[in-house]
């Protein structure tokens, strides 16, 4: 069932890196596929400094991470922010030999699932969450992100 949602996308990175980022349309498509309920979501794409500051302030970890999810209201409509750290996502895509847009799609879906209560703290929860991610990404033509592959594509 299609869920209604509001999505605000913010780009808080330099002009040079903006050219390598997904479009608002891509973020909207990826979010829509992962949503299971009504939601109001902000996706904010940040640089290393902001990513590190947020991760340190809210998780006590002094480094930038790929995706952070903040839930503000878990009733309907669900409300929260997803923060994507562009340099970390780019570095991971290169290291893992994945197309950049495929990795952005994965991190967006991952963040939207976290927003809805999915987690990967224990093995059962991780298997459930990863299975859902694999299913959603497959609908985009993205291969299983948990298997190393040199040929992965993502449709816009």
Binding-site residues for Zn(2+), please? 110, 114, 120
134-148 burial, b at 16+ Cβ within 10 Å, e below that, comes to: bebbeebebbebeee
In the chain, which residue ranges form alpha helices assigned H by DSSP? Answer: 15-18, 24-34, 48-59, 86-95, 100-115, 123-138
Binding-site residues, please? 110, 114, 120
How far is Cα of residue 58 from the mean position of the Cα atoms in its chain? 18
Alpha-carbon span 118 to 121, nearest angstrom: 10
């Amino acid at each position: 069932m299609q869920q209604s949602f509001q999505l605000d996308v913010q780009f808080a990175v330099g002009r040079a890196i903006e050219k390598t980022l997904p479009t608002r349309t891509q973020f909207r498509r990826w979010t829509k596929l992962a949503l299971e309920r009504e939601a109001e979501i902000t996706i904010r794409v940040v640089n290393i400094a902001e990513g590190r500051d947020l991760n340190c302030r809210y998780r006590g970890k002094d480094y930038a991470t790929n995706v952070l999810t903040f839930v503000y209201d878990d009733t309907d409509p669900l409300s929260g922010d997803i923060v994507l750290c562009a340099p970390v996502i780019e570095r991971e895509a290169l290291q893992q030999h994945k197309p950049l847009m495929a990795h952005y799609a994965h991190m967006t879906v991952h963040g939207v699932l976290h927003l809805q209560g999915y987690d990967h703290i224990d093995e059962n929860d991780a298997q459930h969450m990863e299975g859902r991610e694999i299913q959603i990404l497959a609908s985009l033509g993205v291969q299983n992100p948990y298997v190393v592959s040199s040929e992965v594509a993502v449709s816009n």
